[in-house]
Structure formats: structure tokens, C-alpha cells
Amino acid sequence: MTDEDLFLEKEPEEKAEIESVEGEDPEEEAKPAASIENANDKFNRKQWYVVNTYSGRENVVAHYLELRRDTQHMEDSIFRIVVAEKEEIVLDKKTNRPAVNKKGEVKKKIINLYPGYIFVEVIMSDEAWYVIRNTQGVTGLVGSSGAGTKPFPIPHEDMMPILKKMNLIEAVSKGAFAIGDKITIVDGAFADEEGEITSIDTTNSQAGVTLIFFGRPTKVDVPFSSLQKGN
């Protein structure tokens, strides 16, 4: 068989491939691309993850992790490291009123809301994943099945109440946004995307935002706390 015969045999396949691409429905073409993007978003975006450690050692391990992050120059991948604690007033057991010390000051104590867990804000690159799981005192990450597989992030709606309890974010006023506002999404799977508010859900403190994907408008629901008004 000559080179010319080989070329003639390949030509019909190439032509068929070209025709199939030209005849594809744009919607069908967009689906696999969107699936790949959504799969990559989980690890390429800043997300919150739950680190397992020993109960009572949360602050020590959080300090170790901060040191590892700084010495490995991972500040662009590992961000906030949070031990979920809150301050409570100590009540007198007899009177059930706030207890006071000898100076007349109300006694307070620190309560760990989630013993044995640390919350870490991460872009889960391979390097960040290695640094976290090899930090002294870290026993694992929630959502990892082991064998070096990366964990799943905490859903945004589950993490926001935790941060609010610790006063790490401010509650967003329901009147802060209006239909027609141009906004930027600041975190989550659609971080850095720009869009327009098309509906307001005050009950769930979220807005319907229209984004443009593959030249087509797509509506997504986004918490107020993830929105930033455009200039």
C-alpha cells in the first residue's frame, strides 16, 4: 500500500469528523466543557475544608499549620485557619446569674464549638494538600477517602453560619442589593464571575444572578455574603 492509498483511506474519516463538529448543537457542545469546568472549580477555587485533629489540641495544631504555611511560602494557597471558638459568660451554679471574680469582673470562658476540628480556607492544589495532611497533629480531612485522594470542600451555606458565630464576617443587610445591580461573585464555584441580579430572596438571604456562559444567560442563586456590588 502506497502513501497515497493511506491518505485516501484517512480522508473520509477526517471529513466525517469535520462534518460532525460543524453540525453539533451548541447546547450539546457546551455540556462537556461545563462539566469539566465544574469539576476543576472544586480544587481551583478558594474553599473551606475541615481538618481532623485531637480534641483539645485544635489551637496547637492550627499554630503548626500556620508555621508550615509560612515556611513553605503557601500564603497564596492556604488562607484563613480557624478554630471555631466562642466566648461565653460563666453562670453561678447557685444563682444561675453571671459569676464574678474577686475584682468584680464577669467571668468568661472559651467554648470550642467543634472539638477535634479545624477549618481551613484553601485553594486545594497538590502542594497545599501535601502541606496540610503532613502537618504535625493533623489526623485527616473530612471528605477524603484516603489513599491520597483530596477531600471535598464544605458547602458555602454550611460554612457561613460558623463564620458569623465567630464574627469573622458581617451579616449582609437584606436591603444591600436590588434587582438590576451589577455584581461580582467573590467566592464559591462562581468566584470572580460578573453578572446582574435578577431576583431577590430575602427569606434565604440570597439573590438570583444571571451570568453569561458560552454566550448564553444562566441564572444561579448566590448568598448575599458572596456578592460584591460593581462600581
In tens, the pLDDT along 62-78 reads 999 999 999 999 999 99
pTM, 2 dp: 0.57
Confidence of residue 91 (pLDDT cuts 50, 70, 90): confident
Cβ atoms of residues 127 and 135 within 8 Å: no
- CATH 3.30.70.940 spans which residues of the chain? 43-165
Q: What is the pLDDT of residue 226?
A: 80
According to the per-residue pLDDT averaged within each range, which of 44-53, 139-148, 187-196 is highest? 44-53
Confidence of residue 169 (pLDDT cuts 50, 70, 90): low
Higher pLDDT, 34 or 77: 77
Whether CATH 2.30.30.30 fits 174-229: yes
Confidence of residue 8 (pLDDT cuts 50, 70, 90): very low
Beta strands in the chain (DSSP E): 46-52, 78-82, 85-89, 108-112, 117-123, 140-141, 182-185, 194-201, 206-213, 216-223, 227-229
What is the C-alpha separation between 100 and 105, in angstroms, rounded? 5
Closest among 64, 48, 82 to 135, alpha carbons compared: 64
Closest among 229, 205, 194, 187 to 80, alpha carbons compared: 187
If DSSP codes are grouped into helix, strand and coil, which group holds residue 75?
A: coil
Q: What is the pLDDT of residue 43?
A: 58
- CATH 2.30.30.30 spans which residues of the chain? 174-229
Answer whether residue 12 shows pLDDT above 60: no
Q: What is the pLDDT of residue 41?
A: 52
Higher pLDDT, 28 or 220: 220
Burial letters 34-57, b for 16+ CB under 10 A, else e:
eeeeeeeeebebbbbbbbbbeeeb
Tell me what the pLDDT averaged over the chain comes to.
Answer: 78
Over range 77-104, report the average pLDDT. 85
Q: What is the pLDDT of residue 106?
A: 80
Higher pLDDT, 97 or 125: 125
Cβ atoms of residues 227 and 185 within 8 Å: yes
Over range 35-56, report the average pLDDT. 73
Confidence of residue 172 (pLDDT cuts 50, 70, 90): low
Confidence of residue 193 (pLDDT cuts 50, 70, 90): confident
Whether CATH 3.40.190.10 fits 43-165: no
* Residue listed under C-alpha cell 439573590: 207
What is the C-alpha separation between 177 and 182, in angstroms, rounded? 9
Q: What is the pLDDT of residue 167?
A: 67
Answer whether residue 139 shows pLDDT above 60: yes
Q: What is the pLDDT of residue 174?
A: 53
